[in-house]
Amino acid sequence: MTKRVFIIHGWDGSPRDAWIPWLKSELQKRKFTVITPKMPDPKNPKINAWVSHLKKQVKEIDADTYFVGHSIGCQTIIRYLMGQQDRCGGAVFVAGWFTLNSESTPDAASRRTAAKWCLDPVDFETARRSMVCSTAIFSDNDPAIPLQANSLVFKKVIGSHIIIEKNKGHFDDEAGVKKLPIALKEIIDMAR
């Protein structure tokens, strides 16, 4: 079977952001089929719209299906997996969050959007059962997300292996992260 990887960009992002094109290219060199959908209305992401869009892209999951998410893309993957009966091969979550630093949502519209993603219930147990394994990658200087609170959720509640990188910010263009070898390594290890 062909191994598929879905890479989901973050809020106000696109499939061309930061390390996503590099990871796509590296995975394709290794014979993965890589899908990097442009998520709907990325400046104003809505849970139902993003999860529905991912569902249309994936269709059915199996042990040869993998996910990589950045920021809000991580929540999109987890919320998508809540509705699945089958298990995917694994997921890599990069700068994933369930709580944000207040400075990262300076205007009222951003705060309303973030509140929906932070407060809408998540069935972590069902999502966890829908993955063979997962890894969550954080940076020690991410200005957007509280490291301790979010890494604890990914470790204790989702069961992710935690990796903390040095000085990668929010793993975005602003931080200058154009390659992410640790994400590549984690997917390759999961797919063995």
In tens digits, the chain (192 residues) has pLDDT values of 799 999 999 999 999 999 999 999 999 999 999 999 999 999 999 999 999 999 999 999 999 999 999 999 999 999 999 999 999 999 999 999 999 998 888 889 999 999 999 999 999 999 999 999 999 999 999 999 999 999 999 999 999 999 999 999 999 999 999 999 999 999 999 999
- ∠ at Cα 10 (65, 148), nearest 5°? 95
Q: Structurally, what CATH architecture does the domain formed by 4-190 represent?
A: 3-Layer(aba) Sandwich (3.40)
Please state the pTM of the whole predicted model.
Answer: 0.97
What CA–CA distance (Å, rounded) separates 138 from 84? 26
Residue 106 is predicted with a pLDDT of: 82
Q: Computed over its alpha carbons, how large is the radius of gyration of the chain?
A: 15
Instruction: Give the whole-number percent of the chain exceeding pLDDT 70.
Output: 100
Asked whether 165 and 140 are in contact (CB, 8 A), the reply is: yes
> Residue 8: which of 63, 55, 74, 56 has the closest Cα?
74
